[in-house]
């Protein structure tokens, strides 16, 4: 099941790493070891970058139709191995089996299907007068992906980069390596030329930094914490490479007085807890009118208390553990800070849920009467912890929503379309969801402020892996002859 866990994919072959480090992968549901994976070093980065650099001149000149054919083959292989990939994500990061199949694996498929559609119609060249505007592959890309949505974040970078004609070195998180290794095997099996896609593991401050500093990498794309994004940007600065960052969030969910509170609050709780709260765009700050705080508290507490937490392989479980001990302990500290700073705990709290003595399980937690200055209202918790804040009027709600270093997503619940549109325009975020609008793989994904820069998904993600070249006089000789 875990083939190639001690190898890296470099120049089309699974090879032994130069680095001798190992990372023990722990099952977060049981705290038992799963396996060891190889951890690389700067020498492995050099080898992978050299392979990508050598492959770039040829691959970047392939026709879009050929790249689309290769991606269609990759989609076929992905679908054939869909259940295996889903099961790997349940094992390595603790998402429930049903969620892994319905969401974690599904988003990988959705992004593949979307970029294949985009590639069928995307105009890489256009003639404006006598000037050819050409959109060309940015070059060798370093791609760093996180553990919380292993397939989503891997596919959403790798696939548009492949579609653009880029070559790449990929470093997924060591906390979700199994599905990433399997996906890498499928990329290789799909027939992409050797060196186009290279896969290595390693710690961020070792391998990630070596990638960011490497003079032969033209672009870095990272999804992770704001701290990690800053580190990549600083290390990349000396070589003036493009840096694309999809970072943290502390998204506000504004519930207006006319909303159906029973439905809107309950939906907001489940939205906050999606993927056990380990989602950068999760609506973790619920904003309600001051006078309806107690009503919202009652609904949210009832909703949270009904969530079944348990082994992710148990069909009855709605929520599994968080990914690792470090994350569990951080969430516990933040829950304790909410209590200490005076927020009102109405559901959940410190410790594991009743009956669970092992595993990194967190109680679905709700705080009410939270003020904007509290730690739980300002820091990205990345766990099933909801903060409910009060507001006095619409302008106050907008002010509180924007009072954060982050700017990834915003949510609005109302029956008043004019109010929803008015508020949406004022939110300093990259994405707004009105009344829990459906997620769309073709819609741009990314944020303002310290949530990062650049956009992912569909044509917008493809564009971020392209440079624009203007060729004057392109058509003049043809016309003259």
246, 272, 276, 380: which one is catalytic?
Answer: 246
Give the number of other Cβ atoms within 10 Å of residue 440's Cβ: 13
Please, is 33 exposed, middle or buried when counting C-beta atoms within 10 Å of its C-beta (0-12, 13-18, 19+)?
A: exposed
Catalytic residue among 113, 272, 280, 380: 280
Residues 184, 206 contacting (CB under 8 angstroms): no
Please, are residues 464 and 124 in contact by the beta-carbon 8 Å criterion?
no
Tell which residue, 237, 57, 233, has the closest CA to residue 139.
57
Helix axes 417-426, 394-402, angle to 10 degrees: 30
Burial letters for 3-30: b for 16+ Cβ neighbours within 10 Å, e otherwise? ebbbbbbbbbebeebbbebebebbbbbe
The CA angle 433-434-439, to the nearest 5 degrees, is 40
**How far is Cα 57 from Cα 54, in angstroms, rounded to an integer?**
7
CB-count burial class (<10 Å; 0-12, 13-18, 19+) for 393:
exposed
Question: How many residues make up the chain in this entry?
Answer: 481
- 178: β partners: none
Read off φ and ψ for residue 343, nearest 5 degrees: -70, 155
Q: Catalytic site residue 35?
A: no
Residue 291 among the catalytic residues: no
Sign of the dihedral through C-alpha 343, 345, 348, 352? positive
DSSP assignment, residue 350? S
CB 53 within 8 A of CB 214: no
Half-sphere exposure (Cβ direction) of 316: Cα atoms closer than 13 Å: 4
Q: Show the DSSP H helices in 237-292 as ranges.
A: 261-273
Could you list the active site residues?
246, 280
């Amino acid at each position: 099941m875990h083939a190639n866990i001690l190898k890296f994919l470099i120049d089309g072959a699974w090879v032994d790493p130069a680095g001798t480090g190992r990372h023990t992968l722990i099952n977060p549901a049981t705290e038992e070891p799963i396996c060891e994976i190889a951890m690389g070093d700067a020498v492995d980065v050099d080898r992978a970058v050299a392979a990508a650099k050598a492959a770039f001149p040829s691959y970047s000149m392939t026709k879009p139709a050929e790249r689309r054919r290769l991606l269609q083959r990759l989609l076929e292989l992905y679908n054939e191995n869909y259940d295996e990939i889903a099961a790997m994500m349940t094992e390595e990061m603790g998402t429930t089996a049903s969620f892994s199949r319905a969401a974690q694996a599904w988003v990988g498929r959705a992004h593949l299907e979307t970029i294949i559609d985009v590639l069928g119609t995307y105009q890489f060249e256009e003639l404006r007068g006598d000037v050819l505007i050409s959109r060309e592959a940015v070059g060798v890309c370093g791609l760093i992906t996180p553990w919380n949505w292993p397939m989503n974040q891997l596919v959403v970078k790798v696939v548009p980069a492949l579609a653009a004609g880029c070559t790449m070195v990929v470093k997924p998180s060591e906390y979700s390596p199994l599905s990433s290794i399997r996906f890498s095997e499928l990329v290789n099996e799909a027939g992409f030329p050797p060196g186009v896609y290279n896969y290595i593991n390693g710690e961020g401050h070792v391998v990630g930094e070596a990638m960011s500093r490497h003079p032969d990498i033209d672009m870095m794309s990272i999804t992770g914490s704001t701290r990690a994004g800053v580190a990549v940007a600083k290390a990349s600065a000396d070589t003036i490479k493009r840096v694309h960052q999809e970072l943290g969030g502390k998204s506000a969910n504004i519930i207006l007085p006319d909303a159906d509170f029973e439905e809107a609050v309950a939906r907001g709780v489940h939205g906050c807890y999606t993927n056990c709260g380990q989602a950068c765009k999760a609506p973790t700050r619920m904003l309600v009118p001051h006078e309806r705080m107690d009503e919202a508290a009652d609904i949210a507490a009832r909703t949270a208390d009904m969530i079944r937490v348990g082994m992710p392989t148990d069909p009855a479980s709605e929520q599994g553990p968080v990914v690792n001990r470090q994350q569990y302990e951080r969430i516990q500290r933040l829950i304790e800070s909410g209590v200490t700073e005076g927020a009102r705990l109405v559901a959940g709290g410190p410790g594991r849920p009743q009956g669970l003595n092992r595993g990194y399980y967190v109680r679905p937690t709700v705080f009410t009467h939270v003020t904007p200055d509290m730690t739980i209202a300002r820091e990205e918790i990345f766990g099933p912890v909801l903060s409910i804040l009060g507001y006095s009027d619409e302008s106050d709600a907008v002010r509180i929503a924007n009072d954060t270093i982050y700017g990834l997503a915003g949510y609005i619940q109302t029956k008043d379309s004019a109010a929803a549109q008015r508020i949406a325009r004022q939110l300093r975020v990259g994405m707004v969801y009105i009344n829990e609008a459906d997620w769309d793989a073709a819609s741009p994904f990314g944020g303002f402020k310290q949530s990062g820069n650049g956009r992912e998904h569909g044509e917008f993600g493809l564009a971020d892996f392209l440079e624009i070249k203007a060729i004057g006089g392109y058509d003049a000789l043809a016309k003259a002859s």
